[in-house]
Amino acid sequence: MVSFNRVVLAGNLTRDPELRFTQEGVPVANFSIAVNRVRSKREAVDFFNVSAWRELGERVANYKKKGDPIVVEGRLQYRTWQTPDGTKRSTVDVVADNVQFLNRSGDPQQQAEAPTSVNEAPAETAGAGGWGLAAKQAAASENG
């Protein structure tokens, strides 16, 4: 079976990145971006939630703010959870592997990138349906 999970988005931050730490002390920055979509003569906007782990997350949180243009490369991750009242919820988020900082004219400013092993979201965050990590683990076990 062939599978490929890759996304590249260019847009503007809709809020300041929020830097948090897991119980193990691993930093993660959460932010959202707005991406313009041109449809014939109308424009529409799509909004995406993004998480950036470890050093990448710290760089984004320290250097970017609401309104800043960025390019995010990463993968989609499906998560499910249950609310306190018992309602089941799900969402699809972007887990960033690379974030490129742009200046207001859209030109590259600085690239915030770290090796994938450094940015990998911890296994416990994959949740139900976290296929990206599962596929990587399956490939690693097949290779040896």
Provide the pLDDT for residue 50. Answer: 96
Q: Cα–Cα distance between 46 and 118 in angstroms, integer?
A: 29
Q: Cα–Cα distance between 72 and 50 in angstroms, integer?
A: 8
**Adjacent-strand bridge partners of 112:** 99
Provide the pLDDT for residue 128. Answer: 37
Q: Give residue 29's pLDDT band: very low, low, confident or very high (50, 70, 90).
A: very high
Provide the pLDDT for residue 43. Answer: 85
CA atoms lying within 13 Å on the CB side of residue 33: 26
Domains identified in the chain and CATH numbers: 7-143 (2.40.50.140)
Lowest mean pLDDT among 32-36, 59-63, 134-138: 134-138
Average pLDDT over residues 17-44: 91
**How do residues 51-108 score in pLDDT, each as one tens digit?**
999 999 999 999 999 999 999 999 999 999 999 999 999 999 999 999 999 877 656 6
Report pTM. Answer: 0.70
